[in-house]
Amino acid sequence: MQPLRGTRDILPDEIKLWQYIYNKANNLFSKNNYHEIQTPILENTELFKRSIGNFTDIVNKEMYSFNDQGKRNITLRPEGTASIARAFISNKLYLKKKINRLWYLGPMFRYERPQKGRQRQFHQLGVECIGSSIAMADTEVIKLATKMLQTLGCKEYILEINSIGNLEEREIYTINLIKYLNKYKNELDIDSTKRIENNPLRILDSKDYRTQEILKEGPKLKNYLKHESLKHFNEVCENLEYLNIKYTLNSNLVRGLDYYNYTAFEIKTKKLNHQNTICGGGRYDSLIKQLGGPDTPSVGWAIGLERVLMIIENNLIINNDNNIIYIATEINNNYYLVWDIINILEEYELKFDLDLSNKNLNKQLKKANQAKAKICFILHKEEIKNKYITIKWLKTSMQQTIYLSELRNYLKYLKNYITA
């Protein structure tokens, strides 16, 4: 039996990569005073309709929604920000402190056509800076995104930024954009034709060549931005320049979610062809109020981990996590000595692998070498009977014999050496 289409198993050898990413993220974000948060995979469907937007592709086409046994309409979360905003409100985090810096890592779900770099169950790593309206907050999260990618060894990327203004400015711009596009309705691609009435801003993101040619002569959102929007965006750009973070202005960048305002940005890799957006985010000052919380300006981003792994997994050098001590034994009725040895190894926090194959000792020693263990504890029947251990250093084949009563002292002096 195979996994469902668009899902995949993460096997033990691959888990090392995921643990590596988690540890790097935890280290970076902790230093910057961001705290991990975990939200449920299941949420009320209404949360995403109210936040992401009824006319977005995610809500219309991609959400996994169903009625549970209590006839509640439930959705597997398609993205992280709405859930974080809901958690912020329901747990009244705004009463504890004014600025909440949060980060998360977990699975998301969207019904899309599976392809390389796009799964129906995928994983996002994200940060949210909740409670600040100043441009420095935008810059902080963008800096963290670039730092995170660099930390993971993903260095060939392009940061694209844009200001999409506030709701009022976008509404005026949208009216003029629709007027302009209606003149070319028969020349637009099919998706863009459908979006004219419901979600015209998404047309700016069309990959169709003819649609992009039409847009070149159309109205530009930046020309509809007023002083406050321009001031905020200019400050973000000035901060990025001061930090020597290179960026490209993309006037057609709008993102696919309704809750964004002011700053919108994407980070694209040069190493992938079609699925080349590896990070996306922006400011969402109205979302929390829109969901019933206090008026709380916020900004954040999410990185698609499957796409990042496609770029970095062949270049990552992760410390080999081989077992240090292999225990080879001839099991008989008196095997309690093995448990005594294991208890002492656990006491000293040493990694070990107890052979459970019940094969002869020569085959067990062969397995110890294949596992690249440094040391093998050998327990013949005679050793078990008399409570001593033959210790074999596999690289040099040197052997020592010690009694169980001496094992603690032996490990105490050799722990630093055998864990090096």
Q: What is the pLDDT of residues 220-278, one digit of tens each?
A: 888 899 999 999 999 999 999 999 999 999 988 887 667 788 999 999 987 766 668 89
Q: Is residue 118 helix, strand or coil?
A: strand
The whole model's pTM is what? 0.87
Q: What is the pLDDT of residues 181-219, one digit of tens each?
A: 888 888 888 888 888 877 888 888 778 888 888 888 888
Per-residue pLDDT, averaged over 348-358, amounts to 88
On whether 124 is known to bind a ligand per the annotation, the reply is: yes
Q: What is the pLDDT of residues 247-260, one digit of tens each?
A: 999 988 887 667 78
Whether the per-residue pLDDT at 323 is higher than 80: the answer is: no
On whether 64 is known to bind a ligand per the annotation, the reply is: no
CA distances from 143 to 6, 87, 236, 250 (A): 32, 25, 11, 18
One of 1.10.460.10, 3.10.180.10, 3.40.50.620, 3.30.930.10 is the CATH number of 12-165+225-312, namely 3.30.930.10
Q: CATH 3.30.930.10 residue ranges in the chain?
A: 12-165+225-312
Token couple for 258: 């309704």
Q: CATH 3.40.50.800 residue ranges in the chain?
A: 325-418
On whether 140 is known to bind a ligand per the annotation, the reply is: no
Closest C-alpha to 87, from 299, 293, 285: 293
Which homologous superfamily is 325-418 in?
A: Anticodon-binding domain (3.40.50.800)
Q: Is residue 323 helix, strand or coil?
A: coil
CA distances from 215 to 56, 163, 210, 365, 399 (A): 20, 17, 9, 69, 77
On whether 50 is known to bind a ligand per the annotation, the reply is: no
On whether 86 is known to bind a ligand per the annotation, the reply is: no
Token couple for 27: 């280290």
On whether 259 is known to bind a ligand per the annotation, the reply is: yes
Number of helices followed by number of strands (H, E) in the chain: 15, 16
Largest Cα–Cα separation, the chain? 94
Per-residue pLDDT, averaged over 292-317, amounts to 89
Report the C-alpha gap between 337 and 30 in whole angstroms. 43
On whether 255 is known to bind a ligand per the annotation, the reply is: yes
Of 62-71, 170-179, 379-388, 392-401, the least confident: 379-388
